[in-house]
């Protein structure tokens, strides 16, 4: 099967085709421009970390969190943590790293796929909700959140939850996402104080 993004990822040295999803989202919204502190949830194998590293520059810090170990990246502005973002201890650790908050929260979190769509979609929504909780804890008022969501049951309710938390909300499907995929990305900015 001719997969252009997979081929381009190999050519450019990115660890995953997903790198191009982040590139396309950033080209449209520009959330990494001027960002210095970025948190990437669900970051294994590291494609998004590579893109963020390029765009943030050497004086920034990008931290990736995943339950699976992320093979070391030769990037001085990238740190990685093995852990579950639903774990309070991981949140405390992130708060200690980013004492002044973060400019961008990226979440490409996905569950281990069971093959039962209703189960997988429900698990993914739970991960998206976890990412939103992290955003509320760490994001600066003018910061950006980019959160992957699977469309299906509870999708519209989750969108409303995000709209209650942010002033600006868009739902986007990057060109690099597979056409048959139910994934979309919520891009949000302007955290509301006391957002539900």
Give catalytic status of residue 148 as yes or no.
yes
* Positive or negative: CA dihedral 19, 24, 25, 31: positive
Classify residue 162 by burial, with Cβ atoms within 10 Å: 0-12, 13-18, 19+: buried
Phi-psi region of 64 (alpha: psi -120 to 50; beta: other; left: phi over 0): beta
> Which of 92, 129, 148, 173 is an active site residue?
148
**Which whole-number Å values give the CA distances from 37 to 45, 64, 140, in the listed order?**
20, 11, 10
Torsions phi, psi for 186 (to 5 deg): -95, 125
The Cβ-side half-sphere exposure at 74, using a 13 Å CA radius, reads: 2
As a whole number of angstroms, the distance between CA 81 and CA 86 comes to: 13
Q: Which residues are catalytic?
A: 148
């Amino acid at each position: 099967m001719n997969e252009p993004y997979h081929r381009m990822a190999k050519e450019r040295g990115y660890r995953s085709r997903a790198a191009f999803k982040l590139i396309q989202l950033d080209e449209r919204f520009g959330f990494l421009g001027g960002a210095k502190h970025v948190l990437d949830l669900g970051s294994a194998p590291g494609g998004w970390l590579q893109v963020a590293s390029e765009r943030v520059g050497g004086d920034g810090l990008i931290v990736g969190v995943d339950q699976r170990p992320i093979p070391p990246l030769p990037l001085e502005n990238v740190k990685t943590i093995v852990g579950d973002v639903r774990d309070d201890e991981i949140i405390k650790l992130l708060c200690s790293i980013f004492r002044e908050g973060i400019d961008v929260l990226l979440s490409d979190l996905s569950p281990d796929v069971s093959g039962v769509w209703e189960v997988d979609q429900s698990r993914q929504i739970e991960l998206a909700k976890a990412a939103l909780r992290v955003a509320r804890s760490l994001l600066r008022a003018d910061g950006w959140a980019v959160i992957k969501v699977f469309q299906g049951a509870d999708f519209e309710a989750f969108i409303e939850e995000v709209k209650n938390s942010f002033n600006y909300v868009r739902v986007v499907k990057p060109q690099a996402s597979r056409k048959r995929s139910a994934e979309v990305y919520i891009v949000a900015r302007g955290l509301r104080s006391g957002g539900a």
